[in-house]
A and B are shown apart, each in its own frame.
Chain A
Amino acid sequence: MTGEVLRILLLVLQLGFLALLYLILIGFSRALLRDLRSAEVTQMASQSGIGRLSVVESPADEPALGSAIALGPINSIGREVNSTIFIDDDFVSGLHAMLTFRGRSWFIEDQGSTNGTYVNGHRIDRPVALSFGDELTIGRVRMRLER
């Protein structure tokens, strides 16, 4: 009879193990659901833009180091005050480069600048497609393309 009691106890413990396992799963699913809701919100917020440039290096602090510049489909980059992205740096030409979003990806094209435009450290001589995470160097300013 003690054997029977032991069996019942064992059964209860085994069920307890499974129950605990599912309790953990419920915890996970609650966290997942809550996160899904907040993720939707952040996504709605971030999808309004097609990308941004975050400033990695900027000796003159214009644009400000660490800041992120929201991008439109066509952006002019240069020392010209009316440029979409204004860079206050002696090594930058008036209209230095054009950053454009065409179809599904970003392209950068140098506009005949004196000191050139660099992508990931390589100077470009024709329009180049960019990936998110690529680094642009214009003058002494380094910026990273991000979504």
Chain B
Amino acid sequence: MHAVPRPLELRLLLPLVILVPLGFAVTHIAQTSTLDPGPMAVAIGYVGLMLGAHLALRLVGNRGDELLLPCVATMGGIGIVMLNRLPQELLGTDAFGVRFGMATTQLLWFGVGVSAMVLLAGRFRDDGVLRHYKYTWALAGTLLLVITFLFGREVNGARLWIFLGPIGFQPGEAIKVVLVIFIAGYLAEKRTLLAGASARIGPFSVPPLPYLLPMIAIFVIVMLVVVVSRDLGTALLFMGIFLTMLFVATGRRSYVLLGILLFIAGSFVAYNLFGHVRIRVDNWIDPFVDPSDRGYQTVQALYAFGRGGLFGEGLGQGLPTISGHLPIPALPTDFIFAAVAEELGLIGAFALLALVMCLVFRGLRTAMLARDDFSAMLAVGLTVSLGLQTLIIAAGNVKLVPLTGITFPFVSYGGSSLLACFVIVGLLLAISHRSVVDAQIEGRGQ
């Protein structure tokens, strides 16, 4: 391992040196109506962290995709500018007797996430640990699920949190990564068999029973997530990841169709069983029925989109607080996309979506260039988990699908989510690194 240059990455990261401090200054000027850029420590810290991540990737000799980090860093930059401009006294974390603002807390988590990413990108060279112990990973995931069920704390009707002292932790984020690893391992091994022989149930061709069973198991686990965490968003995400990976491995649309039908059936049961789910679905159908109570957040988000218009209210000039309260309580997490769309307008929201798409396509490209099936499936799964998560929350914000409480990757406030997202990018960098290195060896060989 020796240092490598990553010139494209550096070039794409450099504009952040202006972008993030500019965002901090603009919001401060807009909010105070004075020509004072305000405190810059968090902005400088953030830019420093991202440049540091770049240097660290060079030092550990990662030759992986050079667009991933700048993509993520720009998204995170927009996020931290938004978090910094929100009323800080309302949200934030108390830890070790010090009160951290939201942006500061988020910056700390960025630090943790980036470290994890660099570690994986640099040290993770042999995927055997993931591949050969896939059942162990599946067991670990199930265990986490059980722990959440037993010790989880309920927030907004969904049991998602485990608290270790003052630090809250969402096991769903870890389970997501573990799930991807397990499915990738399983499908890479059984792919040819799943794609080949098949039995038929009605109009659907299904894989033979021995191969069907683990898939049913995964389905049941996903449905368990709904029951345990009562969280429709996570269930939708898990199911989406599973079906997408199944499609990529086998190329069979009928499996996906069958899965979707089963999911709809399951959701229907959940709708009738859980009031929490029912409220969300009813709100989705018409939030204006009860705009001041149950439909409140959805309606407020729609107003935020409406206020934004084409060019936005202007950074720092949107999100009117009503007697010191944010119009949307879950704004920093579930509705950060609406906040960006309000202040930066349609063009700002498009920019954010474009960044996510760039990230997704780079991830898929990594999958296509991977030298072996497991790496390819892993890259697909990891990428899709980021892409689908964005789609589900963004579509929920704009009322295309029922709103669910999941985060916008790299932009939303939240430590567990941020860490999981950086772990994903770290793994993608590692996979990408290996295919680049292999291709070079091969090139030298010929």
Contacts and interface: CB of A to CB of B under 8 A. Distances in A.
28 contacts: A6-B29, A11-B314, A14-B316, A17-B344, A20-B18, A21-B348, A23-B15, A24-B16, A24-B70, A28-B71, A29-B358, A32-B361, A35-B365, A39-B369, A52-B442, A66-B441, A103-B196, A104-B192, A105-B192, A105-B196, A131-B191, A131-B373, A132-B371, A132-B373, A133-B372, A133-B373, A133-B375, A144-B372
Nearest to A12: B26
A4 to B, nearest CB: 11
Given A21-B351, A133-B188, A146-B371, A14 B26 contact: yes
A32 B66 CA distance: 11
A11 B313 CA distance: 10
Contacts of A25: 351, 354-355
A18 B313 CA distance: 12
Interface residues of B, number: 56
CB-CB nearest 3 A-B residue pairs:
A133-B372, A129-B192, A105-B192
A99 to B, nearest CB: 14
Contacts of B22: 13, 16-17, 20
A42 B442 CA distance: 12
Contacts of A144: 372
Interface of A is mostly: helix
Contacts of A6: 29, 33-35
A131 B192 contact: yes
B188 A131 contact: yes
A31 interface: yes
A13 to B, nearest CB: 5
B383 interface: no
Given A6-B34, A21-B344, 11 more contacts: A13-B25, A17-B344, A20-B22, A21-B351, A24-B74, A28-B355, A31-B12, A32-B67, A66-B445, A133-B372, A133-B374
B213 interface: no
Interface residues of A, number: 42
Given A14-B315, A31-B8, A131-B188, A24 B372 contact: no
Interface of B: 8, 11-12, 15-16, 18-19, 22-23, 25-26, 29-30, 33-35, 66-67, 70-71, 74, 78, 188-189, 191-193, 195-196, 311-312, 314-317, 344, 347-348, 351, 354-355, 358, 361, 365, 369, 371-376, 438-439, 441-442, 445
A27 B76 CA distance: 17
A137 to B, nearest CB: 15
A60 interface: no
Interface in A46-101: 52, 54, 66-68
Contact of B35 (A9, A35, A66): A9
A27 B188 CA distance: 35
A41 interface: no
A104 B195 contact: yes
A124 interface: no
A18 B19 contact: no
Contacts of A29: 358
A32 B372 contact: no
Nearest to B311: A18
Nearest to B127: A133
B193 A129 contact: yes
Contacts of A131: 188-189, 191-192, 372-374
A105 to B, nearest CB: 4
B19 A24 contact: yes
A140 interface: no
Nearest to B9: A31
B20 to A, nearest CB: 10
